[in-house]
Amino acid sequence: MAAPQPLARERRYTMADKATIVLFSHVSNTRSITGAEKLLLFFSRELSPYFNCILVAPQEGKLTRLARGYGIQVQLLSIPLVYGMYTPYAGLPADIRKFQESREYIELTGWLAAVRPSIVISSTCVHALPAMAAKSLGIPVVWKISETITDNEYTPLSVELIHNNSDEILAISHTAAACFPEDIREGKVTQLPPSWNDTDMMFEAWSKLRGERRGELKVAPDQPLVGYVSSFINKEKGLEHFVKMAVLVHEQHPAARYMVVGSPGDKNYYERCVRKVKLEGLTSRFKFVGYEECLPAAYCAMDVLVVPSLIREGFGMTALEGYAFGKPVVAYDSGGLQEILHAAGCGELLVEAANIGALAERVNTLLAAPAMAAAIGSLARERIEAVYGPAAYRARLYGLAERWLLRYCVLPPQASGGEEDPPADEAPGGSPPAAAEPPRARPSRRAARLRRAKLRRGKLRRAKTRARATRRPGRKKRAAGSARRKAGSGGKHRRAGHARRRRAKRRRKAA
């Protein structure tokens, strides 16, 4: 069953109708794009039918170029990041106060005061200053958490700062939300896992992309290719574990090839992994391709994807992307990766973090039965699409947008132009609708008060008068004249003056 389509396809909004949302990205890399940047860009694109979105980034980069290409307004502001929110320590509140005295924070506050958006969305826990500046101005804040805050004795400091400076919290997964106490989770945390855009998947070209990319890598059609993908490669992403796993897999499958996609985040660590490959005599089996401009081609070329992350991932976009391309995924049981693989029905391909032997064993099992591996990937894609696919994402976003419009904006935008929507029980062409529209959230008390205030001011009453005049052309002039007489404060006095003059004229004639 298809999920509800974006509101923009049901109602057409003009730019003037839309409330403004400002979304803050903590980074904007010049040549590549991280998982967090991808998530925020996708989120901005999907919100655009509902709101006028402004994306704020620290500098020009791939993120800002892509955003402009999608028609999203971009603003550049240099804002310090508070890394202590991710790894809390005793002096975090004092350091926060120093950040609030900085020139960048004052400029940020001034800019927000001038724009005065309906909502501010701050992405990642380390991007704390936009949330605090917005809160100081009384602007509603939605804090988007896509990572797991380090668990130590000072974690409550970060949690309290996020709680005190947000109206709502969007968590990418159960894992990312776990640091918040139960009362906060129930009161203000909403889970919004990521998804993908079907137009970026290049479905029709998968076979062609696979052949071309494997040809460039000099990988024969019958040679299995095991892949590793990370935006920025550092120790926490487990490339060294991938190399050691390859050494073990090579003993049983000497024909296997290995592709490493990603830019060096830690150059020394990256070079150490390359040296390890040379020392093991596997240089001809490995392809280090660096940053990949066309990720669909890289995923299509693979037969198995391995995600050996050593940190508690907030989600695990690499695993999600692998499943979206129908690839079987073997991963360490690290944070949100567990949620993804269980949703795909592939819990048996999870292994304990740092267990390289078990990692190699799972990969060997898949390489020994290519048909079974392909079937696992295909079935996992169907399950993942049902839980995390674009339709599921838009259904969740629909509910969020409706709630935000009612809670934080004066009134939901009115439809402007376009054809009238078909009846609820009939879709275009007479066929049954794909899915019922989700129930609307009940208006908040604040929205009800604002509506009553508008009624008192007469705006809605005048709108109804105009509508009646349009439906009854014969009474249009009279209704308009009546409205003018009611609107004029001196109408009665003018009519009384006319009557006195007529009586005086009759008396003069009679004389």
Instruction: Reply yes or no on whether the pLDDT at 478 is more than 60.
Output: no
Match 């998804």 to its residue by tokens.
195
Q: Are 284 and 303 in contact (CB under 8 A)?
A: no
Secondary structure class of 159 (helix, strand, coil): helix
Sequence letter at residue 242:
F
d(CA 75, CA 77): 7
For residue range 247-279, list pLDDT tens digits in order: 999 999 999 999 999 999 999 999 999 999 999
pLDDT of residue 32: 84
Q: What percent of the chain has pLDDT over 70?
A: 79
- Would you give the DSSP letter of residue 419? P
pLDDT of residue 1: 38
For residue range 120-142, list pLDDT tens digits in order: 999 999 999 999 999 999 999 99
pLDDT of residue 457: 53
Secondary structure (DSSP) of 57-115: ESS-SHHHHHHHHTT-EEEE------GGGTS--TTHHHHHHHHTTSHHHHHHHHHHHHH
CB-neighbour burial class of residue 243 (10 A; exposed 0-12, middle 13-18, buried 19+)? buried
pLDDT of residue 2: 42
Highest mean pLDDT among 276-280, 441-445, 468-472: 276-280
Residues of 312-327 as b/e, b for ≥16 C-beta within 10 angstroms?
bbbbbbbbbbbbbbbb
- Would you give the DSSP letter of residue 132? H
For residue range 324-347, list pLDDT tens digits in order: 999 999 999 999 999 999 999 999
d(CA 350, CA 330): 6
For residue range 275-301, list pLDDT tens digits in order: 999 999 999 999 999 988 889 999 999
Tokens linked to 257? 């090839």
d(CA 215, CA 300): 12
- Nearest CA-CA partner of 64 in 30, 35, 97: 30
For residue range 7-46, list pLDDT tens digits in order: 444 444 444 579 999 999 999 999 888 888 999 999 999 9
Mean per-residue pLDDT, 191-198: 94
Secondary structure class of 8 (helix, strand, coil): helix
Q: Which residue has the higher pLDDT, 427 or 23?
A: 23
Sequence letter at residue 238:
G
For residue range 48-96, list pLDDT tens digits in order: 999 999 999 999 999 999 999 999 999 999 999 999 999 999 999 999 9
Instruction: Reply yes or no on whether the pLDDT at 420 is more than 90.
Output: no
Tokens linked to 454? 């508008």
Distances (CA, A) of 43 to 50, 86, 152, 192, 256: 12, 22, 31, 10, 38
Instruction: Reply yes or no on whether the pLDDT at 432 is more than 60.
Output: no
d(CA 233, CA 264): 5
Tokens linked to 387? 């839980």
Least confident of 28-37, 220-229, 317-326: 28-37
Tokens linked to 85? 């929110």
pTM given for the model: 0.76
Mean per-residue pLDDT, 290-317: 94
